[in-house]
Structure 1
Amino acid sequence: MSFQFEIVPVTPFQQNCSIIWCDETKQAALVDPGGDIQLLKDKVQQLGLTVTKLILTHGHLDHVGGTEPLAKEWAVPVIGPHKEDAFWLQGLPSQSQMFGFPLTEAFDPDQWLNDGDTISVGNQTLSVYHTPGHTPGHVILFNDEAKVAFVGDVLFKGGIGRTDFPKGDYQTLINSIKGKLWPLGNDVAFVPGHGPMSTFGHERASNPFVADEMPLY
């Protein structure tokens, strides 16, 4: 299988930045480069990859804090999230202050993402799903070949994303999980924004927030 990824936890929040790449071309993308820039640069170098883009699932600081410096260093575009998260990206200076992070300047991506978009990484393709609820512009990324999804802060092993932030909404998040994630298949493994990986089937069977009494075959 030519789709590969490695998870690198960054920032004091241990946010899962994913380095994803196509093994045939060695072209790569970083999903949610939240910080610890030198660590990410070293890891990319160790893996022998060429980063061609940075992809953001949503606009929270711990997911985007390292984006601008890395985009400048590698001269690559920033893609995502959905434009409904523009207010989060414009509010990065105040987010920095609130969480005691180094100052992160406001920015806009080179391209906003919409439901149904696709992103190429070498010969591999990521499908984009708009999954509001944690933030209004949150997106998740799915690679069909590897049956793996990068879901940011929508879903966790045994939990779901917070909905008490501005423009967050609990029922919208539940609808996103059940309506956008579950149809991708029970065998899909997912990388959450924090903590260990799981599968959609496991969460459907056991996650107290979104379990649905589905028999596991």
Structure 2
Amino acid sequence: RVLLKLGGYGIIRITLMFTPLIELSYPFIILALWGILMTGLICTRQTDLKSLIAYSSVSHMGLVVAASLIQTPWSFTGAIILMISHGMISSALFCLANTNYERMHSRTMLLARGLQMVFPLMATWWLLFNMFNMALPPSPNLWGELMIMSSLFNWSPWTILITGLGTLITAAYTLYMFLMTQRGPLPKHLKHASPTLTREHCLMMMHLAPMTLLMLKPELIS
């Protein structure tokens, strides 16, 4: 996850050194957008929770790469917002996945259903960060994706087909992740799982606080 964000930052710094070349950018932007669809579809077929979250990060970075190659102020701002926001979201989702693993000793989603009945507060965190992952308002993800999609549409109107489909796939695998872990019948071996700890909820608050600050004061990015 850290390497993905560092790579995105490196791409932004490098592309600023070159004059925008539309013809040269075409194949790389198309590959980045195609990667969004491919990794999104891979996410819908995952049974391992951490693998799903990891592929989700790769899918979002496709938008960052495409935005960096367009080299407009809006696309750069959208890429930075999306990297910061998704960095917090994916970190929170990995932490939530780890809380599940510490109690079930398995990352397979089929073996850990119905956790909402045992850990209702943790299910609230799952719902909140899954909504952020889907770029629902007022999350910073929404601002970043809208700015990137607007820049891509201004660059080529045909890109709206790929970005729109990518948004639908993102919503599909995010809802799939939430439903597979929090809803459904509770397995018998989870009825006596250890309760959640205060430090785990404090950790979630530490992820939520900077995102809330970013929502209230977006000028911090500029």
- RCO higher in structure (CA 8 A, sep ≥6): 2
TM-score range, shorter chain: under 0.3
Higher radius of gyration, 1 or 2: 2
TM-score (norm 2): 0.23
- Indicate the structure with greater helix content: 2
TM-score (norm 1): 0.24
- Indicate the structure with greater strand content: 1
